[in-house]
Structure 1
């Protein structure tokens, strides 16, 4: 009967093939299909690993490194698949305009109390990618903010909900005009974290459930038109304030931003 050291190459080949098989399935069909395959591979590999535990220490260490490397590759491919799905979702969501989007990942943030000023996030694209001041930034859910500062390979985005941000909007089925900003006016009920205040420009009524979208800016900066912003969740009582007001819950939760996109208006040079 062959000694144990001679059986290790065959065992290693079986282990590597099974792990690679799981990797291929992950790459081809990430999601529900890969989970049963992973479970099956784990069931088969566990006894093999137990056999290897009695083998040569150096060989076991080598196999362990190979296994860990393959596991790292699976993780990388899963992240890549997740990013591609986010990009597809982002692309499908931008039915509000024929604009080109530059995907970007949020890599840092600064609170409103930061010395540089403003509640911002930093994204991993910048001037070398064509990013310029006052471009609109969106996510799959809607408006995120606008570009505040640009470096060669990064940019700071001033977020919707910062105290200094005021956005012209339309609301309701008739597209009535108004503006949205953080916080409330004197005499209005306090706002919860993240809630915004809609102030109507005229006397058009505001109703709970009204959708709020960007009005658009001259030259499309800092905000392009028709980007979803939020939903009216409460209407303030009339307390003599100028203009009707209401509470708006934004579509984008800026506390958990990940993948966003800088909007390039058609015809502009990137």
Structure 2
């Protein structure tokens, strides 16, 4: 054991001396053949071993780096997704505000043209209450000046009337509800009738219109407006109600009936206005979009006879004698 230890110390000492000699020779300027050869032999001997060790440990190193970076990456992805949701919410809110601002402008324009004093409101819910099939709740009430039987409109026309006014909310009966009946007039005429709801908000015939006179005539495309009254209850005059879509031809009927398409889209109610003070004068057909179209007046038998007499008189130069006219 003692002899082996002495030999081991001798070998270690020789290796250390050789290493020191090589370090001294390598630090000198210029290329030394001895150190160059030693370095080349070392690279030749240990290069493949180093490459093999690197190849073996590379997957372990990459996996460790991935595991170390995974929490940070997940946090970054979560942060970006949250920011994306916030941006989508902001964009949707901006679009909603833009639509409401546009609807409010239309409402103010209609009320200004009609001379109505309104309280703007928002249709917050659509519920079944008090037997109404499709009642609308507004976010305004008595403290805002709202009372029962007040007319409710939006930028397109008639929404309905207030049936209940609470302190901060109110309930509106839509014009298309089965319980609703609105006194109305054909545009461009004095023919009056009653527009009633059918309850079919999304159906093909949401409203019916019945003229009071059996001699009165109406045709598809004609529009109807609220008749109103002097005390503005339950409806103010001149508000667009709808457009005639079809006429029921019933021989021998005492009245003329048809169906109408509402001026208001009840499926997308949002910004509305409660009319708290009506106009001084009836706006007539001025609130209808586009120029009012005059409804054709029905011809009567007496009028036809008078027309024929006037035509024959003009042919005779103002005299009833045809011979004198030819002379």
Shared fold (TM-score, shorter chain, > 0.5): yes
Per the alignment, residue 44 of structure 1 pairs with none
For residues 163-242 of structure 1, the aligned pairs below 5 Å read: 163-183=178-198, 193-202=204-213, 203-242=215-254
2:98 pairs with one of 65, 68, 81: 81
Give the aligned CA root-mean-square deviation in angstroms: 2.8
Residues 99-136 of structure 1 deviation map (CA, whole Å, 9 limit, x = unaligned): 1222222121134xx5x212311111112221111110
Query: Closer, same or farther in 2 for the Cα pair 1:253/1:74, shift >3 Å?
Result: closer
User: What is residue 117 of structure 2 aligned with on the other side?
Assistant: 100
- CA separation in 1, counterparts of 2:112 and 2:258? 26
Distance in 2 (alpha carbons) for counterparts of 1:152 and 1:73: 32
2:256 paired residue number: 244
Q: Which runs of no fewer than 5 residues in structure 2 stay unpaired? A: 1-68, 281-327
Q: Which moved more, 1:72-81 or 1:160-169?
A: 72-81
Cα distance in 2 for residues equivalent to 1:264 and 1:221: 11
**Residue 127 of structure 2: aligned partner:** 110
Asked if 1 retains the 8 angstrom alpha-carbon contact of 2:242 and 2:263, the reply is yes
Long gaps (5+) in structure 1: 1-51, 184-191
User: Quick one: distance in 2 between partners of 1:94 and 1:81?
Assistant: 20
Give how far 1:232 is off. Answer: 1.0
Higher gyration radius (CA): 2
CA separation of 1:194 and 1:141: change in aligned 2, threshold 3 A: farther
> How far apart in 2 are the matches of 1:61 and 1:209?
56
Instruction: From the two aligned structures, give the one with the greater helix fraction.
Output: 2
Asked if structure 1 preserves the Cα contact closer than 8 Å seen for 2:211 and 2:256, the reply is: yes
Map of 1:47-86 to 2, 5 A cutoff? 55=72, 68-69=85-86, 71-86=88-103
Map of 2:137 onto structure 1:
122
Structure 1-normalised TM-score? 0.66
Q: Secondary structure at the match of 1:178?
A: strand
Tell whether the 8 Å contact from 1:149 to 1:155 is kept in structure 2 after alignment.
yes
**Aligned to 2:114, what secondary structure does the other structure show?**
coil
Report the number of matched residues.
206
Contact conserved, 1:180 with 1:196, CA < 8 A, in 2? Answer: yes
Q: CA deviation at 1:251?
A: 1.3
Deviates more, 1:133-142 or 1:248-257: 248-257
Aligned to 1:149: 164
The range that moved more, 223-232 or 213-222, is: 213-222
Cα distance in structure 2, aligned partners of 1:227 and 1:234: 21
Tell me by how many angstroms 1:243 deviates: 1.3
